[in-house]
Structure 1
């Protein structure tokens, strides 16, 4: 029991020394630093997991939840291989990078991770985009596709009618026919620009 207490004090002293070794200019991060850290999805998922925590958490719990999110499943349904494929890179690289940046306190030897106040700075970049915006864009793109498809079909009908000398196209010369087809696509393009 005494040995555990000494070990605990030793770790506390090491943590204090590590905190003292960090330069004062790490109190904030540049946007480039933030974007560099957040370019990796696993690091973003770690920060997402830690967003609601105030106490230290086990690294293993983080790895399991990140693996579950990556595989779109629950922690209980993960395979050992899925857990391991996430655990190892987190252990070897990702958590250390977040620790070096001051976003988390990662005690590698104990497998403990704690969110640091500096992590609040990156929360704004982790916000999920509202789904309504993307669905609106999809609907408007579908409408624009309809204009182009309609213009193509009508242009093809006019051209085919002129080639077959159908009655509704016989009054159009080659230049007039070309002008009509060009007008169809011009109207479609203007409609797209105005929307």
Structure 2
């Protein structure tokens, strides 16, 4: 992937979540499962407590924008018919990059003011 494509792939928090989730799955992840996982994180609730509205908001954004973008960039493979997202050769390196940047840049809330 070109550096521009890498930056575009990881520039959005939902796309980063998709990359991380798909990286953990050899068989791929269903868009509905991704929407529940992402809605859970965004709303700080257990996945079992995600409302239909919360899930729908994320799902629409994923299928209308983010999953096609990741597919076009080669960061993940998205089948719009089955709604399945699978890893590509670029997925694991992107996931490592996301984890590394997150680890290096993370500042716990109580330390943020120091």
TM-score by length of 2: 0.84
- Residue of 80, 86, 102 corresponding to 1:114: 86
Taking CA–CA contacts closer than 8 Å with sequence separation of 6 or more, which of the two structures ends up with the larger relative contact order? Answer: 2
Larger Rg: 1
Aligned to 2:15: 43
- Residue of 86, 107, 111 corresponding to 1:134: 107
How far the C-alpha of 1:32 sits from its partner, in A, is 2.2
Distance across 2 between alignment mates of 1:37 and 1:57: 18
For residue 33 of structure 1, give the secondary structure of its aligned residue in structure 2. Answer: helix
Contact 2:76 2:88 in 1 (8 A): yes
Higher helix share: 1
Distance across 1 between alignment mates of 2:91 and 2:74: 8
Which segment is superposed worse, 66-75 or 117-126?
A: 117-126
How far the C-alpha of 1:73 sits from its partner, in A, is 1.1
Q: Over residues 103-133 of structure 1, what are the superposed CA-to-partner deviations in whole Å (9 max), with x where a residue is unaligned?
A: 21111011111111211231232113258x7
Where do 5+ consecutive residues of structure 1 fail to align? 1-28, 142-195
For residue 114 of structure 1, give the secondary structure of its aligned residue in structure 2. Answer: strand
Aligned to 1:189: none
Distance across 2 between alignment mates of 1:64 and 1:125: 24
Q: How does 1:26-105 map to 2 (within 5 A)?
A: 29-105=1-77
Distance across 2 between alignment mates of 1:38 and 1:60: 21
TM-score by length of 1: 0.51
- Between the two proteins, the alignment pairs up a number of residues equal to 110
For residue 60 of structure 2, give the secondary structure of its aligned residue in structure 1. Answer: helix
User: CA separation of 1:30/1:140 partners in 2, compared to 1, >3 Å: closer, same or farther?
Assistant: same
How far the C-alpha of 1:98 sits from its partner, in A, is 0.4
